[in-house]
Structure formats: structure tokens, C-alpha cells
């Protein structure tokens, strides 16, 4: 299976790769290059989610997609918490090119309130956490409905993370395997 570059005009999404900036849990860039890739079946599922969101006058903002195994190790070494990060020895769905971290954008171009930011590794980030506002709960459920309707599975601890079902069937991708290295 091929990797698909996720970029305009083919994909009507906002790309804001957090790990290509200092605005992430490590406080510094993890990626040297902000390229965004998904494996073909994940790219097709993303297109379905984009179309469904557009029907509601919403768009998607991607914080992460394919994450080379080297990047997974950097994140794990910074914060080895298996509730929020996959142990790189087992492999992350991100490192298989079949996971996305994302949020919804309203018609005004602003992110919808989800109750926490991306990479907030606390119980407040869990799906169904009733400690966040009713508006944030609604927005999380809206995102979940759009994504699961497009063929994605959710991760219960992170409102922003979605992956294909049976993600472990796909191979792991190292930085050297990519069309252009990200690290």
C-alpha cells in the first residue's frame, strides 16, 4: 500500500502538525519537516469525514497523521505514559499511517471547544468526561459521529485521536521509508 500526501487541493483540511512546532507536549519540534501522509485506506476514510463535515458547514484541522517510529520514540522518551502514547516497541497506529489527531473548525475558521487542547494528557481529555462543559461534550460527540461514520475507530482516552480498525495489520513506517524524511 502506498502513502498518500495529505494536502490541498486534494484534501480540504487545515494542516497544523503540532509536532513540527514547539506547540506540543515536548515544548520543541519533533519533526523537521511538516509533511502529512496517510496510508491509502486511511486517506479514503479521511475524505469521507471531510465530506460529512462539509455537509454541516464544518472543516477538519489535523494535528498529526503518519508519525515515523523515530518520532514515536522521541515522544515516548519524553512522556512514557501508555494511557496516552503507544509504546514504540509495539508500534503506534500513527507509525502505521492509519491514525489522525484532529479537531473540528467552525464556519468562522475557529476550532470548536472540545474542553481541552490537543495533547492534554489528563482525564479531562477522555471521551465522555462529564467534567467538561456541555458544549464541549456535544462537540466531541459531533466529531466522534463524523469520524466513526467515515470508518474510523476512536481511542477512549483522547477526544482528538482516531484510527482505522485493526490498525496493527499495517506495517510500521520509519523516517527513511517516507517519500521525504520528516525527522
Which active-site residues does the annotation give? 158
CA–CA separation, 65 vs 80, rounded Å?
20
- Residues 6 or more apart whose CB falls under 8 angstroms from that of 152 comprise 45, 49, 100, 162, 163, 164
Which of these, 68, 67, 51, lies nearest to 59 by C-alpha position? 51
Across 6-36, b (16+ Cβ under 10 Å) vs e yields beeeebebbbbbbbbeebbbbeebbbeeebb
Amino acid at each position: 500500500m502506498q502513502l498518500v500526501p495529505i494536502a490541498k487541493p486534494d484534501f480540504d483540511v487545515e494542516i497544523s502538525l503540532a509536532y513540527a512546532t514547539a506547540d506540543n507536549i515536548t515544548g520543541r519540534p519533533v519533526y523537521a519537516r511538516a509533511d502529512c501522509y496517510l496510508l491509502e485506506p486511511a486517506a479514503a476514510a479521511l475524505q469521507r469525514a471531510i465530506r460529512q463535515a462539509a455537509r454541516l458547514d464544518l472543516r477538519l484541522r489535523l494535528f498529526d497523521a503518519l508519525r515515523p517510529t523515530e518520532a514515536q520514540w522521541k515522544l515516548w522518551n519524553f512522556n512514557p505514559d501508555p494511557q496516552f502514547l503507544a509504546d514504540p516497541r509495539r508500534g503506534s497506529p500513527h507509525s502505521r499511517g492509519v491514525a489522525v489527531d484532529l479537531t473540528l473548525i467552525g464556519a468562522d475558521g475557529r476550532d470548536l471547544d472540545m474542553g481541552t487542547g490537543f495533547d492534554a494528557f489528563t482525564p479531562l481529555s477522555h471521551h465522555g468526561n462529564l467534567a467538561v462543559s456541555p458544549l464541549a461534550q456535544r462537540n466531541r460527540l459531533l466529531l466522534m459521529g463524523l469520524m466513526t461514520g467515515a470508518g474510523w475507530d476512536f481511542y477512549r482516552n483522547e477526544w482528538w485521536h482516531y484510527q482505522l480498525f485493526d490498525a496493527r495489520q499495517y506495517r510500521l513506517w520509519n523516517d527513511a521509508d517516507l517519500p521525504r524524511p520528516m525527522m
